[in-house]
Structure 1
Amino acid sequence: MNSTMETDLLIVGCGVAGLSAAVTALEAGLKVINLERSEEEHFGGNSRWTEAYMRMKNDSEISDDFEEHFAHNAGWNIDPNVLNALTDDAALQPAFAKAHSLPDPEVISAFAQSVPSTLAWLKELGMKFGPQPIYLLTQNTTRIAAMGGGLALIETLRAKALALGGEIRYRTTAIDLVRGEEGAVNGVVAIRPDGAREVLRAKTVLLASGGFQGNPEMMTRYVGVRSKHIRPVAIGGYYNKGEGIRMALDAGAAPAGEYGSYHAEPVDPRSKMAEAVVFIYPYGILVDKHGHRFTDEAPGTVDAHYDNISRCIADQPDGISYVIFDAKVEDIPRWRTSIRSDQPSISAPTLEALAAQIGMPADSLGRTVNEFNAACPKDQGDFDPLHVDHRATTGLAVRKSHWARPIDKGPFQAYPIISTNCFTFGGLKVNSDAQVLDQDGRVIAGLYAAGETMGIYHQVYTGSTSVLRGLVFGRRAGQHAAATQPA
């Protein structure tokens, strides 16, 4: 292996995080190279496929619950000693607190504060943001989106990076870090398109190579055997094989985020579309392949609960479920917008015929529906599909909290649903400048992480913040690298 190039900032990845960092650093005068494992037509990983929703009231104000949601989902059974230690000045915090896997409050605060300026910068590059149609019929927060989605973001940023003299090396995969005698990261070992290995030297390295949803070995190791039923939500996820996370952990980086979990979406497994979500289930029932209900389909607005419900689907036999609903769905305004599959529903005039088409025991499905119907409120006059209506079932072991009404009017319909992986929660611990920390909370010199490669999510995804995470921390990494490198 030969050292074949020198650069100021070497970025592993070419999605919104990697390209945000590249443009920022190039604007500051640094020499920058991005490595991208995919061929050029698929560059961008998950960023290429997302609609880039953002948890904001408008393009200059974040949603009111932005930081609060992170605080409420910071981890499981958190030791109060850890929380108390994090209230001290950062320099005085003990190592166990600095390196803890929960999202550091300073990091989340820096995230929230940096969103408006990051979008203002992107607007200067020609991007536009605003309200966009969304497939969620009910929401508990405010959202806008990038016009043109993630594809517009990465194409805009790539064009700017290349115009500023940046370089992108496609079909090139980083597999290990290179460190100097004192431990600072000063390059990577990479595999070129021809399969040969080379050492690429750099003053600093940014890992922005996504999570590990495209790596079945890492998925099984961290998420468990149920991962065999889980696939990436879009083609871009298959390129995210976790090398960035693994090489940093091997170098002593602290893990952060919830390694055993992932951001899940309920998708029609028959569809070839990216993010072929099916969100009609709050207005019907979810059953497993044997015709049994297994979860509360409507504990609240769908955007607040689909993550947990989708992960629950992965635990069912063969990792599949079916939403069952009837002709009364036509009472729901715009109900078809909640289904983005290009495949038709399975439809039949009777429940028995529907069960036969699905390949489900008809007696089991019939018994489930009859028990559900008997448990629904008798008065159906106050059904309000666009607001939580507290119309709950009574007497069932598995309650439905809202929008409970009998399934009794043919024709009956069903969609198959599986749990898909948008991105994994486990990643690397970083500070507010996106510098990677080691297991004692110390900065690993020369190493940054941004986007899905950094870990900040636990329990439930803070919706519509992942693209923002990549943009903000990619930019913060580029800014810090530019400010701290010698001329």
Structure 2
Amino acid sequence: MAETDAVADLLVVGCGIAGLSATVTALQAGLKTITLERSTEAEFGGGTRWTEAYLRMKNDSEVSDDFETVFAENAGANLDPNVIVAAGGGYDDWPSYVKAHPFPDPELIGRFAERAPLTIGWLKEFGLKFGPQPIYLLTQNTTRIAAQGGGLALIERLREEAIALGGELRYQTTAIDLLRSADGTVEGVLATGPDGRRIEIRARNTVLASGGYQGNSEMLARYLGPVAAHIRPVAIGGYQNKGEGIRMMLAAGAAPSGDFASYHAEPVDPRSHMAEAVIHIWPYGILVNKRGQRFLDEAPRTVDACYDPISRAIAYEPDGIAYVLFDAQTEEIEGWRRAIRSDVPAIEADTIEALAVKLGLPVEAVGRTVAEFNAACPASGEFKPFEIDHLATTGLVPKKSNWARPLVKAPFRAYPIIAANCFTFGGVKVNPDAQVLDCDGKPIPGLYAAGETMGIYHQVYAGSTSVLRGATFGRLAAQHAARHHNVPA
């Protein structure tokens, strides 16, 4: 048997924004905490360490006007109208199948929208700053601010506070299973320590904030299918997210939530060593696959509203790769280089045919694709790079809906693009207090989830909400645990 070596009021698994928000909140409430992190101390923080931490807010005290709407519009395809009608009533009256339904229910998203500004206010108490920041998206359909110093600043400051308040942080320690009492209450986790030996860490309440499964090839293949072979984490922190937290909660009877067969994707240059080496210039050119063919509408909406599904579509093309072709007319767009974050230069040539040769693409097919695209571009109309201009192709399949200009001015340039996995969508169902629900919609005693372990995304990612989700629900979990700390079980 594994040795029991510690007992805590709150055990937190994961040391990113969700886990540290839970840890510090609990410590401020006077609880004894233990926080586990699978990585080394130098690499702690999972995906949060690498993100720029954009937040879907108008300012540091108000969420965006479309915050709740974007979740409602992407709550899942073909939702049962009976579920929608039932969800319109009081939460206490919802049938169990609605409480456990994988969609992001309005009660949950309403709490998220309400508490996100309060969470930012709490983070500001530690000297962290938020406000408008330069962004690589040249067009946007919502409002955003960002944390100064990005996600790294958030987790470094919260870890500092956790240590100052007496929290215990254990690195190279991985939770592998839940400990449960005879009546099903979660009482901590079975973990492996730095030496690989198993230990039991017991706690009155447990928060699993250990990330998604973007770093687990087996889980990706199981849920995404063969396309999983074509994607990789957007930053090396993603490799730390192996999905154990989600797996052990499902094994304990938690209701699945979110879209397990999808993920938040970003279009990156596969040649680059950089985190988030995004390439967002493709709305002003065309995308071709290894056959030299276009395969989708490159500009159906502003780039922030469509890069997620377009990136995922690239993964389904041969070898999971595409190439953006654009010409020197792009230089007329002010700040266009901001849309390219790769440290590897574009491939350039004086002709489309020479560019195809350099890319290793079929020259005749690429030439034909570009010629057909050029012929389909409108002969009149104003090109407006920073707004929807309806400058669309005619008679071309697939259509390009905006910013369609012929590729005619040398030098011609290209970047390879693959879909990178920021985080997976599948997780477990939680209520507005971040308690994990079973398949009957009932809270599993002693168990909470925050961040990527909780599933709220379907279809298109609600951009710039993931860091907010982690911080907000990490705090909600710890606040609920603190309120009930002295309540008899």
TM-score range, shorter chain: over 0.9
2:136 paired residue number: 135
Q: Could you tell me how far 1:133 is from its partner in structure 2?
A: 0.1
Q: Could you tell me how far 1:3 is from its partner in structure 2?
A: 1.0
Separation (CA, whole Å) in 1 of partners of 2:142 and 2:152: 24
Q: Could you tell me how far 1:90 is from its partner in structure 2?
A: 2.0
1:200 paired residue number: 201
Q: Could you tell me how far 1:409 is from its partner in structure 2?
A: 1.1
1:190 match: secondary structure: strand
Q: After TM superposition, what 4+ stretches of structure 1 lie above 6 angstroms from structure 2?
A: none
For 1:236-315, what aligned pairs fall within 5 Å after superposition? 236-315=237-316
Q: Could you tell me how far 1:87 is from its partner in structure 2?
A: 2.1
Count matched residues: 486
Separation (CA, whole Å) in 2 of partners of 1:5 and 1:188: 11
Q: Check the 8 A contact 2:10/2:32 in 1, yes or no.
A: yes
Q: Could you tell me how far 1:224 is from its partner in structure 2?
A: 1.0
- Give per-residue Cα distances to partners, 1:279-335, cap 9 Å, x unaligned: 000000000011100010000100000000000000000000000001111111100
- Give per-residue Cα distances to partners, 1:172-225, cap 9 Å, x unaligned: 000000001111000100011101001111000000000000000000000111
1:4 match: secondary structure: strand
Separation (CA, whole Å) in 2 of partners of 1:298 and 1:333: 18
Q: Could you tell me how far 1:113 is from its partner in structure 2?
A: 0.2
The one-letter amino acid paired with 1:442 is: K
Which consecutive unaligned segments of at least 5 residues does structure 2 have? none
Separation (CA, whole Å) in 2 of partners of 1:112 and 1:319: 36
2:486 paired residue number: 486
Separation (CA, whole Å) in 2 of partners of 1:289 and 1:334: 29
Q: Check the 8 A contact 2:27/2:167 in 1, yes or no.
A: yes
Separation (CA, whole Å) in 2 of partners of 1:393 and 1:365: 18
Deviates more, 1:166-175 or 1:88-97: 88-97
Separation (CA, whole Å) in 2 of partners of 1:393 and 1:351: 20
2:440 paired residue number: 440
Which consecutive unaligned segments of at least 5 residues does structure 1 have? none
Q: Could you tell me how far 1:92 is from its partner in structure 2?
A: 2.0
Q: Could you tell me how far 1:408 is from its partner in structure 2?
A: 1.0
TM-score when normalising by structure 1 = 0.99
Separation (CA, whole Å) in 2 of partners of 1:453 and 1:82: 23
Separation (CA, whole Å) in 2 of partners of 1:134 and 1:268: 18
Separation (CA, whole Å) in 2 of partners of 1:90 and 1:313: 40
Separation (CA, whole Å) in 1 of partners of 2:216 and 2:298: 30
Separation (CA, whole Å) in 1 of partners of 2:91 and 2:353: 63
Give the % identical residues: 67
Q: Could you tell me how far 1:114 is from its partner in structure 2?
A: 0.3
1:354 match: secondary structure: helix
Separation (CA, whole Å) in 1 of partners of 2:358 and 2:38: 42
1:374 paired residue number: 375
1:470 paired residue number: 470
1:398 equivalent to 2:398? Answer yes
Q: Check the 8 A contact 2:91/2:107 in 1, yes or no.
A: no
1:469 match: secondary structure: helix
The one-letter amino acid paired with 1:420 is: A
2:446 match: secondary structure: strand
The one-letter amino acid paired with 2:175 is: A
The one-letter amino acid paired with 2:395 is: G
1:424 equivalent to 2:409? Answer no
Q: Check the 8 A contact 2:347/2:358 in 1, yes or no.
A: yes
For 1:228-243, what aligned pairs fall within 5 Å after superposition? 228-243=229-244
2:413 paired residue number: 413
- Give per-residue Cα distances to partners, 1:50-77, cap 9 Å, x unaligned: 0000001110011000000000100111
Separation (CA, whole Å) in 2 of partners of 1:93 and 1:402: 43
Separation (CA, whole Å) in 1 of partners of 2:330 and 2:91: 54
The one-letter amino acid paired with 1:66 is: F
1:138 match: secondary structure: coil
1:446 match: secondary structure: strand
1:6 equivalent to 2:7? Answer yes
Separation (CA, whole Å) in 2 of partners of 1:434 and 1:139: 31
1:120 paired residue number: 121
Separation (CA, whole Å) in 2 of partners of 1:107 and 1:93: 13
Separation (CA, whole Å) in 1 of partners of 2:196 and 2:114: 43
Separation (CA, whole Å) in 1 of partners of 2:486 and 2:58: 40
1:329 paired residue number: 330
For 1:14-413, what aligned pairs fall within 5 Å after superposition? 14-379=15-380, 382-413=382-413
Separation (CA, whole Å) in 2 of partners of 1:482 and 1:352: 66
The one-letter amino acid paired with 2:353 is: E
Q: Check the 8 A contact 2:66/2:142 in 1, yes or no.
A: yes
1:219 match: secondary structure: helix
Separation (CA, whole Å) in 2 of partners of 1:474 and 1:88: 27
CA RMSD after TM alignment: 0.7
1:136 match: secondary structure: coil
Separation (CA, whole Å) in 1 of partners of 2:432 and 2:302: 32
Separation (CA, whole Å) in 2 of partners of 1:92 and 1:280: 49
